[in-house]
């Protein structure tokens, strides 16, 4: 009986883990697109908006995806010179957070936690 229960727990954990990983692999980042227009087309075609952006392509929530990419023209790849720091003042840096920071994938983590919880429950039941 105990072996059947533990086998059932193991099979359930193995079945649920790939499902959680499959959802996490579909996430797109701005680096997946060649231009802002391509990212915007993807953003619009999936029904995303300033308030509905599950892939976090619109960092400032204005409805424009991947603004930092540019249009993909030659001018977009020209180096931009930084403004000069006034004399007598130190460079204080930009402050703020990097836009488009990667977030940890929640689905795989949740799947692992679920599998560990089921395994712990199985061990606890087995000891009784």
What is the tens place of the pLDDT at every residue in 31-66?
A: 999 999 999 999 999 999 999 998 889 989 999 999
Reference 70, options 80, 61, 82, 83; nearest CA is: 80
pLDDT band at 76 (very low <50, low <70, confident <90, very high): very low
Whether the per-residue pLDDT at 18 is higher than 60: the answer is yes
Residue 119 belongs to some domain of the structure: yes
| Domain count within the chain | 1
Residue 92 belongs to some domain of the structure: no
Residue 10 belongs to some domain of the structure: yes
Residue 66 belongs to some domain of the structure: yes
Residue 54 belongs to some domain of the structure: yes
Whether the per-residue pLDDT at 108 is higher than 90: the answer is no
Residue 95 belongs to some domain of the structure: no
Residue 91 belongs to some domain of the structure: no
Residue 111 belongs to some domain of the structure: yes
pLDDT band at 82 (very low <50, low <70, confident <90, very high): low
- The single-letter DSSP state of residue 3 is H
């Amino acid at each position: 009986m105990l072996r059947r229960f533990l086998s059932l727990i193991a099979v359930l954990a193995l079945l649920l883990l790939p499902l959680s990983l499959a959802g996490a692999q579909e996430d797109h980042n701005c680096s997946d697109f060649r231009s802002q227009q391509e990212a915007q087309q993807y953003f619009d075609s999936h029904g995303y908006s300033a308030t509905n952006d599950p892939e976090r392509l619109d960092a400032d929530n204005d409805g424009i995806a991947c603004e930092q990419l540019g249009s993909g023209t030659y001018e977009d790849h020209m180096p931009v010179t930084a403004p000069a720091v006034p004399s007598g003042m130190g460079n204080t840096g930009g402050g703020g957070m990097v836009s488009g920071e990667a977030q940890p994938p929640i689905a795989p983590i949740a799947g692992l936690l679920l599998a560990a919880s089921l395994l712990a429950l199985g061990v606890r039941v087995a000891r009784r």
